[in-house]
Amino acid sequence: MAFKILISDPLSEDGIFPLRQAEGFEIVIETDMTPDQLKERIKDFDALLVRSQTTVTKELLEAADQLKIIGRAGVGVDNIDLDAATEKGIIVVNAPDGNTNSAAEHTVAMMMSMARKIPQAFNSLKNNKWDRKSFLGVELKDKTLGIIGLGRIGAEVARRARGQRMNVVAYDPYLTEDVAKKLGIEIGTVDEVLEVADFITVHTPLLKETRRMINKEAFEKMKDGVQIINCARGGIIDEDALYDAIVAGKVAGAALDVFEEEPFLDHKLLTLPEVIATPHLGASTFEAQESVAVDVSRDVVNFLTIGSVRNPVNLPSVSRDVLAIIEPFFDLTEKLGMFLSQIQNSVIHEINIQYAGELANYDVRALTRNTVKGLLKRNLGETVNDVNAKLLADRYGIKVNEQKTTTGKGFLNLITVEIVTEKGVRKVAGTLLNGLGARIVKVDDYVVDVIPSGHLLFIRHRDQPGAIGRVGTLLAEENINIAAMQVGRSTEGGYAIMMLAVDNHVESVSIKRIKEVQNINDAKAIDL
């Protein structure tokens, strides 16, 4: 069965080449649909690719019965209801690197055009005026550029500004002294950036905390004659406050590529000669348009075929190097969760996951989500996945704890999953054995060596002669073939467990008969 991909905004053909190249993908391109048309059309699709034109609302997602992934060909995802997507288990991916260079170049181009009044001079020339006196500009050399938000694009702008021999002071909540030193810039608070900068550029996402952060109060803290650039997101700058600051002479120039409401055509800012503007062109280069589409197309193909993505928005991002290390453990962690969910019948209050050995040195949150998914699958089925597993656990009041220790306890890596229920604590531990694959190596306090796949029988019994033989005889009567068997015990003559790999699912009638066997305390059919 082919995966169906809907592309609702224009994307370059070269950009969607990874989708064209992949086998088993049906691609439908339908742009300029109304919201109602898209809502009707989305029902049978596995993936949706958009740019900024399509608004992905909660109502749209409620109609998307088969949707598994949304790809945003660009950086911003404010046109997508992330909470609704996460709740429904739909992963959202974007292309954070694809337009970095393009956006940084546009920012610097706008700053230089504003500083030298190039658009205004060109318009004058087009009107048959040779006016050299009205367009006196300023040099960038030795001026201070203030950058608010030093992510990928902000850092690239900083590098280019240093190339223009500008002084750079930046604010970012995650900016460290080491990074600042490598870039040759200074760190400042938001207020310090506003107070010392001759030019100010913003490169933050549009959040509740950043909406209109450049407002009347912020302008009052700036130097007289400051010049402002916004090629990030519309709404970071209070446009009415900017207009007032320009009219009052506080701000000498503004270069804007993004606006709070687009298209931006009738605002009074456009009447001011100090303002230059472009219609959201930061990512509008041939290279960027192709690159962002390629990035999300690859993520869509990888997610639908092998379940991994490089640039998730509603999941913590995992670097390619780390993903290569933890990816072999994905199947194991899900199976550990599934195993635990099937050996207990109590309400889960807490999940404790411990990573021992080399894994303790890496970001393993993706493995934690995968484990929680395996645990919840028994009761929630396919409605739970890596995207919404943690959200659903929170909703059900299940506390999830992640622990790490570099001591491998005899293994290169060991993952132990413990659940706290109304009836006590149950746990299972697993590892990957070099050349042999995944193994369950401990159940509760019993040491075993079991491949976590297929159909298993988990039996608790008294460590007495004849118990194993009686179970084997009964399974033969039930026509259940044993493929492999492991026995574990804590003390001689005490409680013990049997783990049997069998060829088929063991029906409840057979489980009932096993429980009636002498010295058998419990039996569970486990399907992995």
- What pLDDT sits at residue 382? 60
123 by Cβ neighbours in 10 Å (0-12 / 13-18 / 19+) ranks as exposed
Secondary structure percentages of the chain, helix, strand, coil, to 5:
35, 25, 40
Cβ-proximal residues to 379 (8 Å cutoff; 6+ apart), any chain: 341
- What pLDDT sits at residue 347? 79
Q: What is the mean pLDDT of residues 377-402?
A: 79
> Could you please report the per-residue DSSP string of 128-146?
T---SSTT-----TTPEEE
User: Where is pLDDT greater, at 500 or 390?
Assistant: 500
Could you read off the pLDDT of 38-51 as tens digits, one per residue? Answer: 999 999 999 999 99
Is the pLDDT assigned to residue 489 strictly greater than 90? no
Question: Per-residue confidence at 383, pLDDT binned at 50, 70, 90?
Answer: low
Q: Which residues pair with 129 in a beta bridge?
A: none
| C-alpha span between 523 and 528 (Å, rounded) | 16
| C-alpha span between 416 and 436 (Å, rounded) | 19
User: Where is pLDDT greater, at 152 or 458?
Assistant: 458
Q: What is the mean pLDDT of residues 394-420?
A: 89
Among 51-65, 366-380, 485-499, top mean pLDDT goes to 51-65
| C-alpha span between 152 and 332 (Å, rounded) | 35
Indicate the pairing of strand 199-202 with strand 186-187: unpaired
- What pLDDT sits at residue 320? 67
Is the pLDDT assigned to residue 174 strictly greater than 80? no
Could you read off the pLDDT of 252-263 as tens digits, one per residue? Answer: 999 999 999 998
Phi-psi region at 500: left, alpha or beta (left = phi > 0; alpha = psi -120 to 50): beta
User: Where is pLDDT greater, at 74 or 113?
Assistant: 113
Residue 255's SS3 state is: strand
| C-alpha span between 340 and 346 (Å, rounded) | 11
| C-alpha span between 30 and 40 (Å, rounded) | 13
- In the chain, the percentage of residues whose pLDDT exceeds 90 is 66
Task: Decide: 100 and 156 in contact? Cβ < 8 Å.
Answer: yes
| C-alpha span between 308 and 323 (Å, rounded) | 9
- What pLDDT sits at residue 237? 97
Q: Which residue, among 507, 495, 504, 418, has the nearest Cα to 459 in the 3D structure?
A: 495
Q: What is the mean pLDDT of residues 23-41?
A: 94
407 by Cβ neighbours in 10 Å (0-12 / 13-18 / 19+) ranks as exposed
Q: What is the CA radius of gyration of the chain?
A: 30
**How many CB atoms are located within 10 Å of the residue 528 CB?**
19
- What pLDDT sits at residue 331? 92
Q: What is the mean pLDDT of residues 150-155?
A: 89
Q: What is the mean pLDDT of residues 266-284?
A: 94
Would you name the residues annotated as active-site residues? 233, 262, 280
User: Where is pLDDT greater, at 266 or 126?
Assistant: 126
Backbone angles phi, psi at 311, to 5 degrees: -125, 65
User: Where is pLDDT greater, at 451 or 316?
Assistant: 451
The single residue listed with the structure tokens 């033969």 is 476
Is the pLDDT assigned to residue 95 strictly greater than 80? yes
Is the pLDDT assigned to residue 348 strictly greater than 90? no
- In the chain, the percentage of residues whose pLDDT exceeds 70 is 98
C-alpha 287: how far from its chain's center? Answer: 24
Phi-psi region at 397: left, alpha or beta (left = phi > 0; alpha = psi -120 to 50): left
Residue 215's SS3 state is: coil
- What pLDDT sits at residue 259? 96
pLDDT, averaged across the chain:
91
Pseudo-torsion of CA 473, 477, 479, 482, nearest 10°? Answer: -10
Q: What is the mean pLDDT of residues 205-220?
A: 90
User: Where is pLDDT greater, at 394 or 428?
Assistant: 428
Could you read off the pLDDT of 59-90 as tens digits, one per residue? Answer: 999 999 999 999 999 877 889 998 899 888 89
